[in-house]
C-alpha cells in the first residue's frame, strides 16, 4: 500500500493484540488530536474484532497472520513508514494508556532537531496516577539504571511505549529492532547509531481494558532476555545515519551538535 505524500507527513503506529474494546477509542483520539496524520494499526494476530474496530475508527490496518510480539508489530509499522516516505513516526499503545493530546510534545522535539527520537516518560514529574506492580517497578528501575550507564545520559522510563522518531531513527529501528520486547533495546540502538534522544514528561493512564501480558513469572524471563539483548546491542557496530535521511523541511542541527558523518553516504 502507498500513501499520497504531503509537505510534512506523520504516521501514527499502534501495535494491537486483542484490543477490540479499546482500539476504536484510541484511534479516534489520535485522529482528533492530529487529523492530518495517517493512523496505522498493526493487528498482531488478534483473535477478536480488533481489525473491524480499528477500521471503523478510520485507521489503516496491517494484519499479521499470527502473533509476532510487540517488536515484530512495531517493526512492521516502521517498515511501512520507510516504504511510504513518512517524515515522522509516533508510536503509542493500543490499550488507551497514552494521551493522544501529548503527541504534539513528541513531534515538537523532532521538528526542532532537539532529538532524533523523543520518548514519553512517566517518571520525569512526580505523581504516577496508577499502580505499577512491585516486580514491574523493580524492572523499570534496573533497566533505567543500565540504559543510563550504557548511553551515558539519564534515562528514566526505558519501557515506555510512547515515542516519536524522525527518518534517521526510523531507519535504524526498522533495521535493528528486536522482535519481542523492543523498548529497552531501542534506546541503546539509537545511541549506537550516533543519534540524539530525549525524554519528555507525559501522563499515562491505566489501560482501558484487559491486563498486561507480562505477569510475575514472565517478568523474570523478560528481565533476563532483555538484559542479554541490551548488552548485545551495546556491542553492535551500527553505522551512523547521515542528514540525507532527514526531511527537507527540518532545520540544520542545533548549535553545539555537529551532524553525523558517514563513510557510506545516504542509504
- Using one digit for the tens of pLDDT, what is the confidence trace for 101-138? 999 999 999 999 999 999 999 888 765 555 667 777 78
Polymer length of the chain: 267
Average pLDDT over residues 236-255: 57
Convert the pLDDT of each residue in 179-206 to its tens digit. Answer: 767 888 899 999 999 999 999 999 887 6
C-alpha dist (Å) from residue 252 to 93, 132, 164, 241, 246: 31, 40, 19, 15, 10
Residue 245 has φ and ψ, to the nearest 5°, of -85, -5
Q: What is the pLDDT of residue 179?
A: 72
Distance (Å, whole) CA 85 – CA 4: 10
Q: What is the pLDDT of residue 264?
A: 29
- Work out the burial of residue 1: count CB atoms within 10 Å of its CB; fewer than 13 is exposed, 13-18 middle, 19 or more buried: exposed
Q: What is the pLDDT of residue 260?
A: 29
Residue 15 has φ and ψ, to the nearest 5°, of -70, 140
- With cell 534517521, the residue in question is 168
Average pLDDT over residues 151-172: 94
Convert the pLDDT of each residue in 26-68 to its tens digit. Answer: 999 999 999 999 999 999 999 999 999 999 999 999 999 999 9
Convert the pLDDT of each residue in 1-28 to its tens digit. Answer: 555 555 689 999 999 999 999 999 999 9
Spelled out in words, what is the top-level CATH class assigned to the domain 10-245? alpha beta
Tell me, what DSSP letter sits at residue 98?
B
Distance (Å, whole) CA 128 – CA 202: 10
The answer to which of 8-22, 205-219, 249-263 has the lowest mean pLDDT is 249-263
Q: Quick one: which of 9, 45, 41 has its CA closest to 27?
A: 41
Top pLDDT among 243 and 133 is at 133
Average pLDDT over residues 161-183: 89
Q: What is the pLDDT of residue 266?
A: 34
Q: What is the pLDDT of residue 123?
A: 87
Domain ranges of the chain: 10-245
* Strand order through the sheet with 38-44: 60-64, 38-44, 10-16, 88-91, 163-166, 117-121, 197-201
Q: What is the pLDDT of residue 232?
A: 72
253 pLDDT band, cuts 50/70/90, is very low
259 pLDDT band, cuts 50/70/90, is very low
Asked whether the predicted pLDDT for residue 212 surpasses 90, the reply is: no
Amino acid at each position: 500500500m502507498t500513501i499520497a505524500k504531503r509537505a510534512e507527513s506523520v504516521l501514527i503506529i499502534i501495535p494491537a493484540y486483542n484490543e477490540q474494546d479499546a482500539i476504536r477509542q484510541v484511534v479516534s483520539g489520535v485522529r482528533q488530536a492530529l487529523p492530518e496524520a495517517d493512523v496505522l494499526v498493526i493487528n498482531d494476530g488478534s483473535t477478536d474484532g480488533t481489525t473491524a474496530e480499528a477500521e471503523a475508527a478510520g485507521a489503516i490496518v496491517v494484519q499479521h497472520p499470527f502473533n509476532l510480539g510487540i517488536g515484530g508489530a512495531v517493526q512492521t509499522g516502521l517498515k511501512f513508514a520507510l516504504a511510504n516516505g513518512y517524515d515522522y513516526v509516533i508510536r503509542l499503545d493500543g490499550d488507551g494508556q497514552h494521551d493522544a493530546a501529548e503527541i504534539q510534545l513528541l513531534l515538537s522535539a523532532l521538528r526542532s532537531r532537539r532529538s532524533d527520537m523523543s520518548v514519553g516518560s512517566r517518571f520525569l514529574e512526580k505523581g504516577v496516577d496508577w499502580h505499577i506492580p512491585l516486580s514491574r517497578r523493580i524492572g523499570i528501575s534496573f533497566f533505567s539504571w543500565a540504559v543510563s550507564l550504557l548511553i551515558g545520559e539519564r534515562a528514566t522510563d526505558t519501557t515506555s511505549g510512547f515515542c516519536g522518531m524522525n527518518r534517521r531513527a526510523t531507519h535504524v529501528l526498522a533495521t535493528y529492532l528486536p522482535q519481542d520486547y523492543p523498548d529497552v533495546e531501542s534506546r541503546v540502538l539509537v545511541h549506537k547509531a550516533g543519534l540524539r534522544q530525549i525524554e519528555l514528561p507525559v501522563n499515562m493512564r491505566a489501560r482501558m481494558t484487559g491486563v498486561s501480558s507480562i505477569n510475575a513469572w514472565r517478568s523474570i524471563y523478560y528481565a533476563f532476555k532483555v538484559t542479554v539483548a541490551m548488552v548485545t546491542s551495546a556491542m553492535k557496530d551500527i553505522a551512523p545515519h547521515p542528514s540525507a535521511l532527514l526531511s527537507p523541511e527540518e532545520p540544520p542541527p542545533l548549535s553545539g551538535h555537529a551532524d553525523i558523518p558517514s563513510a557510506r553516504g545516504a542509504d
